[in-house]
């Protein structure tokens, strides 16, 4: 009977309680949403490059090597010789290798010189290969394949001509205006640095620098594009190499062979290890986001306490009548506690349902544009802990109005001031 009276009382206050329920649900949606985005972002970060067993470059720090080889950030302290690339690529356990040459740019976007092996072996995310939504890979000199973000932000289409600049980022030292490139392909979005990259052949990188020396054009010397094929366009140095092995169990042995390479000092790093180390630096952002969402939950539960406390003055006669018909003080206390706990549980369930609905709607867009995978799934162990903490905090928050009601005297309820 007491429970029926409590339900009837809640029904009379249904509009106020629905607003409180919605507040708790939105707070839980934000909390779980940030938690899922945190894990998805970390997974996408770790899978910016997948299927690559080693990244090789001139000796420097592992994080620096991964930053410029994978994320196109910063500059290499030194290049490695082409002969060293050939030697390391011929090691018995090496299945494939992708040479990378960086240093030029186009309107703030990095230019990457590489070979056809890049489109064959490069993987991202869950071992996804690169896919061209338009056109084809470059085949001859002065052909470019654009990342999705480059094409979208600069409005390029197949057949457009672009001019590369000498130097990275916004610090270009001059344009290679006499040797324009033709856009022959546009890659699909990957949510990785590939989207922000202009891809050309290694021979093209050499061709645009034939009449340059020490970072500047040679005065009085101009080599027309149609004559570059007469020159030796094999690079003398490159920036880095991506390597895939025949057997991943041999990765440490191959790493040691490269690190002890006699011809020049080289560094081979496992990209996953370097990315984990890099995440420790940038991962502070995820903790801040989680803290903000936790504060939003606290605010939502504070609203629950405020609503129940505000309604107590209206319910003083109701509670007094319950006591007059035999309800004990512990029963009144339990009634208000159950009301707050049920409201919190319903809010948590509604919040999870709302998050799942938003995931179904926005997951394809997040995966295509940002490379974040938000698959529809039941709460994992960490999310269950967060939901449990929300319910527990809601129960503790309900103690405040419950104790306040417990202190109301029978006479005070029948004769409110």
Beta partners for 165? Answer: 105, 175
- Write down the pLDDT at residue 409: 45
Residue 148 tokens read as: 């999705």
The whole-angstrom separation of Cα 187 and Cα 177 is 25
Residue 407: pLDDT over 60 = yes
Using an 8 Å Cβ cutoff, are 350 and 23 in contact? no
Residues 291-338 pLDDT 10s? 776 777 777 667 666 666 666 666 666 666 666 666 666 777 777 777
Span 243-271, pLDDT tens digits: 999 998 999 999 999 999 988 999 999 98
Task: State residue 166's pLDDT score.
Answer: 82
Token digits for 157? 């289409």
C-alpha–C-alpha distance, residues 414 and 71, integer Å:
72
pLDDT value of position 291: 77
Instruction: Give the pLDDT score at 372.
Output: 59
Closest CA to 122 of 101, 103, 100, 138: 100
Chain segment 159-178, per-residue pLDDT in tens: 999 999 887 655 556 788 88
Average pLDDT value for residue range 354-367: 75
Per-residue pLDDT of 217-247, as tens digits, reads 777 777 888 888 888 899 999 999 999 999 9
Residues in the chain, total: 417
pLDDT of res. 335: 75
pLDDT, average across residues 381-401? 76
363 vs 110 pLDDT, higher one? 110
For 195-244, where are the alpha helices, taking DSSP H only? 202-208
Q: Is the pTM of this model over 0.75?
A: no
Tell me the DSSP string of 69-128: HHS--S--SS-EEHHHHHHHHTSTTEEEEEEEEEEEEETTEEEEEE-THHHHH-EETTTE
**What is the domain partition of the chain in residue ranges?**
2-45+284-414, 54-269
Q: What pLDDT is stored for residue 348 in this prediction?
A: 85
**In Å, what is the CA distance from 85 to each residue of 1, 194, 270?**
82, 22, 17
- The chain-wide mean pLDDT, for the chain, equals 81
Alpha-helical regions (H) of 127-194: 148-154
pLDDT tens-digit series, residues 14-73 = 777 787 788 788 888 887 887 777 777 777 777 788 889 999 999 988 888 988 999 888
110, 164 contact by CB (below 8 A):
no
Which of the residue ranges 185-194, 289-298, 332-341 has the most confident prediction, judged by mean pLDDT? Answer: 185-194
Q: What is the dihedral of CA 315, 318, 319, 323, to 10 degrees?
A: 170
């Amino acid at each position: 009977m007491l429970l029926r009276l409590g339900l009837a009382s809640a029904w009379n206050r249904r509009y106020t309680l629905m607003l409180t329920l919605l507040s708790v649900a939105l707070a839980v949606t934000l909390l779980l949403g940030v938690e899922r985005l945190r894990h998805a972002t970390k997974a996408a970060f770790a899978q910016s490059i997948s299927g690559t067993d080693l990244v090789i470059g001139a000796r420097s720090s592992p994080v620096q090597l991964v930053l410029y080889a994978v994320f196109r950030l910063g500059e290499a302290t030194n290049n490695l010789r082409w002969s060293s690339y050939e030697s390391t690529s011929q090691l018995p356990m090496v299945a494939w290798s992708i040479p990378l040459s960086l240093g030029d740019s186009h309107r703030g976007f990095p230019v990457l010189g590489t070979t056809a092996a890049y489109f064959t072996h490069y993987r991202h995310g869950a071992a996804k290969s690169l896919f061209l939504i338009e056109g084809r890979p470059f085949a001859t000199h002065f052909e470019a394949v654009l990342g999705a973000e480059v094409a979208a932000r600069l409005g390029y289409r197949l057949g457009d001509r672009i001019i590369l600049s000498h130097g990275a980022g916004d610090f270009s030292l001059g344009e290679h205006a006499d040797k324009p490139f033709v856009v022959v392909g546009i890659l699909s979005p990957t949510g990785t640095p590939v989207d922000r990259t202009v891809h050309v052949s290694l021979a093209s990188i050499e061709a645009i620098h034939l009449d340059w020396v020490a970072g500047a054009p040679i005065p009085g010397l101009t080599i027309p594009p149609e004559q570059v094929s007469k020159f030796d366009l094999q690079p003398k140095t490159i920036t880095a190499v991506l390597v895939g092995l025949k057997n991943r169990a041999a990765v440490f042995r191959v790493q040691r062979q490269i690190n002890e390479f006699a011809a020049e000092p080289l560094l081979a790093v496992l990209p996953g290890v370097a990315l984990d180390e890099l995440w420790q630096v940038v991962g502070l952002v995820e903790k801040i986001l989680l803290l903000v969402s936790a504060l939003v939950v606290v605010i939502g539960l504070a609203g629950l306490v405020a609503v129940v406390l505000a309604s107590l003055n209206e319910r003083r006669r109701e509670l007094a009548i319950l006591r007059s018909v035999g309800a004990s003080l512990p029963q009144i206390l339990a009634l208000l506690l159950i009301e707050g706990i049920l409201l919190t549980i319903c809010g948590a369930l509604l919040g999870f349902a709302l998050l799942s609905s938003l995931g179904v709607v926005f997951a394809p867009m997040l995966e295509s544009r940002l490379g974040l995978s938000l698959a529809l799934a039941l709460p994992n162990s960490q999310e269950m802990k967060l939901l449990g903490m929300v319910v527990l905090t809601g129960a503790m928050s309900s103690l405040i109005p419950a104790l306040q009601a417990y202190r109301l005297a029978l006479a005070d309820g029948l004769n409110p001031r």
